[in-house]
């Protein structure tokens, strides 16, 4: 027996946390890495041999990377929060830089609450900002909200992480997760060594939530000894773009009440609704609690955590990492443990907290900044809708592609039917057929999308997810031209 070579380092791929190795996060995976290599090559002037002149990152909901402009009011206020010395030059701000009076007033109000954006806030978030969030929820839903139930966080992802860490007690803890889903949920559960209990969304009815399907998934998991404790619902949907009806939401809450499940409502796309209107889970719960259906108190103790973020919608401030979650119906001792968990992280980014306040309390009609705010906000919404429809129409015309009508969020998630020859070629290359399609699209056009396998899909189906954040609609024709050639290549 030869002597084993001594390891030069403490850490190797064999001895690190196996849960980290198990976690997958497709939206920033192999395709994204390759697209960034192409982008760097083009930026250095070395991309003359490439069949495209620009890279389109349609793989991730990152609005400002794709030229969505920040909202002026938000950035003017945050500029004063970052450099309060500017407030001593009010005449320059107003007369020289075009700042309005309400920008200056808001900066003073926020600084009074946080003192300095370079200082820690309360672990739960600054009190005045939580009050603004509570008022926003009250106005949105027509039901009261308590600032003490609101936790500010570093983007909704940090809220999901905190809640999952407290919920997941053992490797047998299970969470019901919609398929297709945003991979944050499966990745977080992998890191926590807990169980994903998948339930499938109904593609043919606009990606609606199929409650009998959830019941079946729950029953099967419990038979296998999994302690299922919560159900995740993403509304509007990511990656699907589906938007749930009030009835659909009520039926999920009824299931949660009957089966004692925590409802984790990911509502970060609530302003991205093109069809109908957004219905919140909080309103759905409060409506049930005040209805005749609650005569015997069936809904009194439903545990609901609703999450929102500054990263999406017309705000698009992903890099500032701001968000909140509201918890209702939780046991007080559990809440104390969640508070302890967030305290270990000290506090969310304070500038992100301030942007949450601006998102939930934007300029109102009659205030100096309102006209510009409304013009910018409505313009972004209109552009998103235009691009969503351009992509949807293109998919309708593409051979073997079916796509649900765009209802909301920032994504389309079409089904793609590929030939046996294409599927065989993918197998030979040791790739899924959807992965091969997306890689060939990137290599031919510079457009980066994500294969359906990164989000989950029913056995025997193939999909891909694309954002519609990239400016203009010219790049859509790159996809249609590629698709025609791809289908011909594998006939």
Domain boundary among 327, 360, 393: 360
Note whether 249 and 307 are same-domain residues: yes
387 plus 314 within the same structural domain: no
* Inside any domain, residue 366: no
Tokens describing residue 39: 């982008």
| Integer Cα distance of 115 and 111 in angstroms | 5
φ and ψ at residue 60, rounded to 5 degrees: -145, 140
Note the pLDDT tens digit of each residue in 242-297.
788 899 999 999 999 999 999 999 999 898 888 888 999 999 999 999 999 998 88
341 and 391 share one domain: no
Residue 237 sits at the vertex; the CA angle it makes with 234 and 238, to the nearest 5 degrees, is 95
Question: Same structural domain for residues 321 and 188?
Answer: yes
Q: CA-to-CA distance for 168 and 197, rounded, in angstroms? A: 13
Q: For residue 162, what are the contacts with CB-CB under 8 A and spacing of at least 6? A: 151, 153, 338, 341, 342, 345
Q: d(Cα 262, Cα 330) in Å, to the nearest integer?
A: 9
Q: Quick count: other Cβ atoms within 10 Å of Cβ 50? A: 16
Q: Are residues 139 and 288 in the same domain?
A: yes
**Cα-based distances in Å from 303 to 92, 136, 258, 262:** 50, 21, 12, 5
User: Does 86 map to a domain?
Assistant: no
Instruction: Report if residue 478 sits inside a domain.
Output: yes
- Round to whole Å and give the CA distance between 93 and 110: 18
Query: What are the pLDDT tens digits along the chain (491 aa)?
Result: 556 667 787 777 787 777 777 776 655 678 888 888 998 999 888 878 888 888 888 887 777 766 778 899 999 999 999 999 999 888 888 988 889 999 999 999 999 999 999 988 888 999 999 999 999 999 999 999 999 999 999 988 899 999 999 999 999 999 999 988 777 888 899 889 899 999 988 888 777 788 899 999 999 999 999 999 999 999 887 878 778 889 999 999 999 999 999 999 999 989 888 888 899 999 999 999 999 999 888 999 999 999 999 988 888 888 899 999 999 999 999 899 899 988 888 899 999 999 999 999 999 999 999 999 999 999 988 888 888 888 888 888 889 998 888 887 788 888 989 889 999 899 888 888 899 999 999 999 999 988 888 887 888 889 988 888 777 677 888 888 999 999 999 88
Question: Is-contact 453 436, C-beta < 8 A?
Answer: no
Q: What is the pLDDT of residues 107-133, one digit of tens each?
A: 999 999 999 999 888 889 999 999 999
Other CB atoms within 10 A of residue 128 CB: 15
Q: How many domains does one find in the chain?
A: 2
Residue 368, in any domain of the structure: no
| Cα angle 402-406-407, degrees, rounded to a multiple of 5 | 135
Q: Is residue 124 included in any domain, yes or no?
A: yes
Q: Which of 360, 388, 403 is the last residue of a domain?
A: 360
Whether 120 and 195 share a structural domain: yes
Helix and strand numbers, DSSP H then E, in the chain: 17, 14
Q: Are residues 423 and 298 in the same domain?
A: no
Residue 137 sits in which domain range? 113-360
354 and 443 in a single domain? The answer is: no
């Amino acid at each position: 027996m030869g002597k084993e070579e001594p390891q030069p380092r403490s850490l190797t791929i064999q001895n690190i946390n196996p849960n980290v190795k198990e976690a997958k996060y497709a939206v920033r995976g192999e395709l994204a890495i390759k697209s960034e290599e192409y982008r760097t090559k083009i930026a250095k002037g070395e991309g003359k041999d490439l069949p495209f002149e620009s890279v389109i990152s349609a793989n991730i909901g990152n609005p400002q990377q794709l030229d969505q402009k920040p909202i002026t009011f938000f950035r003017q206020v945050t500029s004063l929060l970052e450099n309060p010395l500017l407030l001593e030059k009010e005449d320059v701000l107003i007369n020289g830089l075009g700042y309005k009076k309400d920008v200056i007033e808001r900066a003073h109000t926020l600084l009074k609450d946080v003192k300095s954006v370079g200082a820690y806030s309360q672990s739960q978030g600054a009190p005045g900002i939580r009050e603004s969030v509570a008022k926003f929820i009250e106005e949105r839903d027509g039901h009261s909200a308590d600032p003490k139930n609101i936790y500010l966080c570093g983007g909704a992802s940090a809220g999901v992480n905190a809640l999952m860490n407290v919920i997941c007690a053992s490797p047998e803890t299970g969470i019901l997760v919609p398929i297709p889903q945003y991979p944050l949920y499966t990745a977080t559960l992998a890191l926590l060594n807990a169980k994903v209990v998948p339930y499938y969304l109904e593609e043919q009815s606009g990606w609606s939530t199929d409650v009998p399907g959830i019941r079946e998934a729950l029953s099967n998991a419990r038979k296998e000894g999994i302690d299922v404790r919560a159900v995740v619902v993403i509304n509007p949907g990511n990656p699907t773009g589906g938007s749930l009806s009030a009835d659909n939401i009520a039926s999920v809450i009824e299931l949660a009440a009957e089966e004692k499940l925590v409802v984790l409502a990911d509502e970060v796309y609530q302003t991205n609704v093109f069809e109908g209107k957004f219905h919140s889970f909080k309103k759905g719960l409060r409506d049930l609690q005040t209805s005749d259906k609650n005569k015997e108190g069936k809904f009194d103790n439903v545990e609901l955590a609703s999450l929102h973020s500054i990263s999406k919608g017309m705000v698009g401030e992903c890099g500032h990492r701001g968000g909140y979650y509201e918890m209702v119906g939780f046991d007080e001792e559990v809440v104390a443990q969640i508070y302890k968990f967030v305290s270990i992280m000290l506090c969310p980014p304070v500038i992100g907290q301030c942007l949450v306040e601006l998102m939930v309390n934007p300029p109102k009609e009659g205030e100096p900044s309102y006209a510009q705010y409304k013009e910018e906000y409505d313009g972004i919404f209109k552009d998103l809708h235009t691009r969503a429809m351009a992509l949807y129409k293109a998919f309708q015309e593409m051979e073997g592609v079916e796509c649900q009508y765009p209802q909301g969020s920032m994504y389309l998630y079409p089904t793609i039917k590929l030939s046996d020859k294409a599927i065989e070629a993918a197998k030979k290359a040791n790739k899924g057929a959807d992965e091969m399609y997306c890689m060939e699209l990137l290599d031919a056009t510079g457009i980066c999308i994500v294969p359906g396998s990164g989000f989950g899909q029913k056995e025997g189906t193939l999909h891909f997810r694309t954002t519609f954040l990239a400016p203009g609609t010219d790049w859509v024709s790159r996809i249609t031209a590629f698709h025609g050639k791809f289908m011909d290549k594998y006939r």
